[in-house]
Amino acid sequence: MSAQMSIAGPEETHSAPTLSAVAKLAGVSSITVSRVVRLPDLVAPETRGRVEAAMRELGYVPNQLAVGLARARTRSIGVLVPTIANSIFADTVQGLSDELEPLGYAVILAQSRYDDAREDHMLSALLSRRPEAIIMVGSPATEDGARLLRRAGIPVAETWDLPAAPIDAVAGFNNYEAGVAVARHLVERGRNNLAFIGGDDPRATRRWNGFNDTAQALGAKAPRRLVLDRNASGSVVALAELPGVDAVFAANDAHAIGFMSGLRKAGLLRDGPAAEQPVAIIGLGDLEMGRLIAPSLSTIRVNGDAIGRTAAQLILTRQGPRHIDLGFELVLRDSG
Amino acid sequence: MSAQMSIAGPEETHSAPTLSAVAKLAGVSSITVSRVVRLPDLVAPETRGRVEAAMRELGYVPNQLAVGLARARTRSIGVLVPTIANSIFADTVQGLSDELEPLGYAVILAQSRYDDAREDHMLSALLSRRPEAIIMVGSPATEDGARLLRRAGIPVAETWDLPAAPIDAVAGFNNYEAGVAVARHLVERGRNNLAFIGGDDPRATRRWNGFNDTAQALGAKAPRRLVLDRNASGSVVALAELPGVDAVFAANDAHAIGFMSGLRKAGLLRDGPAAEQPVAIIGLGDLEMGRLIAPSLSTIRVNGDAIGRTAAQLILTRQGPRHIDLGFELVLRDSG
DNA sequence: CATCGTAATGTTAACGTTGTCATTTGCCAT
DNA sequence: ATGGCAAATGACAACGTTAACATTACGATG
């Protein structure tokens, strides 16, 4: 695919009808048509009827670009996520979009793919669309990105984390404490040989830090950390690289389920309760799947949908607290 | 939340710098700045340097709304999906977005939530942003929606199905034949008491039709159809409503895994191969999870990522075939 | 009956860019 | 010297809409 490639044109270029096309057909001026759309009470019923008929006949759809230019309000918001296919963030996009779409906002979606340069690029591309706010997972990875957002002078919501120096609003949870909670639970249950598997993005790293610090403080062996690529299948073979491990914290449920599959192949998975598992495994995210499989997956539950809805509300108003900790919950099931 | 709610304003309203703000600072006219951005070769190196410095100093980001208005090319595409959260469609959005973002296109995302009225509304909202193309899952549910798309005069890609009378381009697979393949497989393996569980959207219904027609043609008992709400948990208890069933086709893998969980509780799930399962279960989508759980999930594999990429390519060009059948594949594992 | 208010409609100038023509240089060939 | 030409830059009108002000018609008011 060449970079000059562009959208194919329609067979017949009948460009969309404009306000003045409708006006001409209805025998009024364009501003009257505009009023029929926005302030129908100001237009005489008889005139309004004629205009509405003309709009229907031509299939008039207002041009939001022009509206946005004229009013300096685009009714759109930019959303930046690392990836959308990895459903942990899909819930958040769904949540914020359910909150915003009924209000007439369009969601402009961009993916950084965990790539700092691409993140900056997408941020700038997003901003060039003049969204009224930006919602992103995490914080800008570079100072350039942060500066871009600050200069834009629009509400910004950072999510899925609690950054120390946020740009504006925050809707997330404490990733470090999540790691602490998991390590404490595992060590208290007598596990001694811990490992952390997952990505090495900032949020995963914060979980690792909490996990590592706590495990060592409580007297367990120094945990190992295995950085895996993004798809769960990689974690199936992780076991081979962790000889002697008796408890694993996975950065997300997909990795946890992949690792469970590896344990099963190695004959190290029991159908019984957590105490009987040769290797305990705890995930993060609380995917619906985790509840349905056997053994059921213990996990740090994070409400991605609520994060999205909260972020939406934060950018809709300046009242009230700007930094919201949605918390997490250690949900214990059969895996650890 | 009231409907009049709107984005909170920034503390200090320093609206974004414009072309002419940069021009003034650099001591040139706005058109020269415009050329530095688009056609740098036309500007003398010395001037260009001054302009670039001014752009950097002001943090200039071009206003794509104005560009779009002036050039009648918005470099954006509208994407309409039923839902984005834990669904097979996230892969498609990821795929098309990976294809389109590097080319400078913005993805405007909208969800219909399987609601016909909302779909029409979102279609119209999308079109008001003047996207250069529309990619949607399925086909417009109403004639109004179809008319809207046809009148827009832009490329339209319908996906995840092979509509009989498509508006323009198609990237999907034959849902009816998927149902046929599953029914044939199950009946040939000696299953006789079949059921179909899942939603009742048009695509699921087409799968059901193929499934039902084929099962009966091959002499099995008339299959039952159980319509469930959208989340997988509903399918956990589906078993109770299907006494005597010995094979189930689920409209997607999430439902299949939910149903498996119900089978497990009922003691009707074996760790062995498909032939030993009291109740065979086959899903659709080939979620990574399905491969990792035990027993592993048999499924109709559909490449959602390829659907998205293909749809993107179809709207980027008019050459070549406009209707692409990406096919599907019956992947047999331990569940049925 | 002149004045005023109000309902209904219209005019004009933005919004920030780009396309389409100028215009100003300086230099080269004649 | 002089016309011609290219390189560099600029003026101005679009693009489709809205904000702010202007105009009309007409019945009510003193």
Q: Give the CATH number of domain B19-62; options: 2.30.29, 1.10.1060, 1.20.120, 1.10.260.
A: 1.10.260
Look up the protein residue whose alpha carbon has the minimum distance to the C1' of D14. Answer: B70
CB contact under 8 A, B98 and A107: no
CATH 3.90.50.10 assigned to A175-301: no
What lies within 8 Å, CB to CB, of B232 at 6+ separation is: A288, A289, A292, B254, B255, B257, B258
At A12, the pLDDT band (50, 70, 90 cuts) reads very low
pLDDT, tens digit, 9 for 90 and up, residues A152-177: 999 999 999 999 999 999 999 999 99
Nucleotide with smallest C1' distance to residue B130 CA: D16
Helix-then-strand count for chain B, H and E: 12, 12
Size of interface A-B (CB pairs under 8 A): 249
Q: Which long-range contacts (CB under 8 A, 24 or more apart) does B123-127 make?
A: B123/B80, B123/B148, B123/B149, B124/A61, B124/B148, B125/A101, B125/A104, B125/A106, B126/A106, B126/B78, B126/B80, B127/A61, B127/B78, B127/B152
Contacts of A271 in chain B (CB under 8 A): none
Round to a whole number and report the distance in Å from the CA of A42 to the C1' of D30: 30
What number is the average pLDDT over the span A204-230? 95
Using CA coordinates, name the residue in chain B closest to A65: B65
- Reduce the DSSP state of residue A322 to 3 states and report it: coil
Question: What is the C-alpha separation between B264 and B54, in angstroms, rounded?
Answer: 67
Round to a whole number and report the distance in Å from the CA of A107 to the C1' of D13: 34
Average per-residue pLDDT for chain A: 92
Helical H segments across A173-322, by residue range: 175-188, 202-217, 253-265, 288-292, 304-316
Nearest to B62 among A110, A128, A291 (CB): A128
**Does the pLDDT of residue A299 top 70, yes or no?**
yes
What number is the average pLDDT over the span A9-26? 78
Question: What is the C-alpha separation between A210 and A192, in angstroms, rounded?
Answer: 16
Look up the protein residue whose alpha carbon has the minimum distance to the C1' of C7. Answer: A42
Q: Could you say which DSSP state residue A321 is in?
A: -
Q: What is the pLDDT of residue A269?
A: 87
Which residue from B263, B274, B94, B281 is spatially nearest to B198, judged by alpha carbons? B281
Residues in reach of strand C, judged by a CB distance below 7 angstroms, are A 28-32, 35, 42-44, 46-48, 66, 69-70, 72; B 15-16, 18-20, 30-31, 34, 37-38, 60, 62-63, 66-67, 69-71
Fold equal for B19-62 and B175-301:
no
Q: What is the pLDDT of residue A13?
A: 52
Q: What is the pLDDT of residue A88?
A: 86
What number is the average pLDDT over the span A292-317? 96
Burial class (CB in 10 A: 0-12, 13-18, 19+), A202: middle
pLDDT, tens digit, 9 for 90 and up, residues A218-261: 999 999 999 988 776 778 777 778 888 999 999 999 999 999 99
Query: Taking phi first (over 0 means left), then psi (-120 to 50 degrees means alpha), and beta for anything else, what does residue A190 get?
Result: left
Q: Which pair of structure tokens corresponds to residue A321? A: 């607290």
Q: What is the pLDDT of residue B10?
A: 42
Beta partners for residue B149, in sequence order: none
Question: What is the C-alpha separation between B335 and B294, in angstroms, rounded?
Answer: 8
What lies within 8 Å, CB to CB, of B327 at 6+ separation is: B173
Mean pLDDT (10-residue bins), chain B, 336 residues? 47 75 94 94 92 95 96 96 89 96 97 96 97 97 96 96 96 98 97 95 96 96 91 75 91 93 90 89 94 94 96 92 96 94
Contacts of B113 in chain A (CB under 8 A): 98
Contacts of B56 in chain A (CB under 8 A): none
Nucleotides on chain C within 7 angstroms of protein Cβ: 7-12, 14-20
Name the fold adopted by B71-173+305-327.
Rossmann fold (3.40.50)
Q: Which pair of structure tokens corresponds to residue A222? A: 């120094």
What number is the average pLDDT over the span A171-194? 97
Q: Where are the domains of chain A?
A: 19-62, 71-173+305-327, 175-301
What lies within 8 Å, CB to CB, of A73 at 6+ separation is: A67, A132, B6, B7
Question: What is the C-alpha separation between B307 and A331, in angstroms, rounded?
Answer: 36
Burial class (CB in 10 A: 0-12, 13-18, 19+), B66: middle
pLDDT, tens digit, 9 for 90 and up, residues A33-77: 999 999 999 999 999 999 999 999 999 999 999 999 999 999 999
Question: What is the C-alpha separation between B293 and B291, in angstroms, rounded?
Answer: 6
Q: What is the pLDDT of residue A4?
A: 44
Distances (CA, A) of B65 to A65, A75, A128, B293: 5, 12, 8, 48
Contacts of A147 in chain B (CB under 8 A): 59
